[in-house]
Structure 1
Amino acid sequence: MLNVRNKKQAMHNFFTAYAGDIEGGLSTMSKQKLLEHLGSFDAENGINNDRLNPKNYSPCDIFVGVASAATGIPEHDFLNYAVKFFGHE
């Protein structure tokens, strides 16, 4: 099992790099658009069909998946952190 020294710093560094993509779109997305970009809404297992709750999404972003595999940080933690990082919480 992989273990990073500072999980929050690792996710911060990841989203700092990811937000600087060619389009630069992540930082201007609404909370729902961001969650839809990084994950798939799970209506069957979701809580109250709330599209603004990160717990209702299954991570499906390839870059998040690779970062998760490289760091050992669960993919869902990246979704939760993204909401905070981009100022939606």
Structure 2
Amino acid sequence: AYEVAWIPTISFGVSTEAPVPGGAWWAVGTTAALLALQAWTGATPGKRTVGIVVVHDTTGRPAGLVRTVLRSVAHILDALLYIGFLRP
């Protein structure tokens, strides 16, 4: 919030018409960076913090870009179709 809504006379010097930093390109870039990081190192910063690594089941090496992207698409489909919620 740029201004305190319940005190309309107080403004902190930020115009509400100013574009918010980031936006769609920031989200796309961050997603691409996290996918690449997981594909080549096996972990995003959050996974690295708790000690989780995504690896290929037969080689034990990081999963790679194609498998990482397919895994992310499967998570999106899972969330949209409630498969993960209904399966248990």
Report the TM-score, using the length of structure 2 for normalisation.
Answer: 0.29
User: Which one has a larger percent strand, Structure 1 or Structure 2?
Assistant: 1
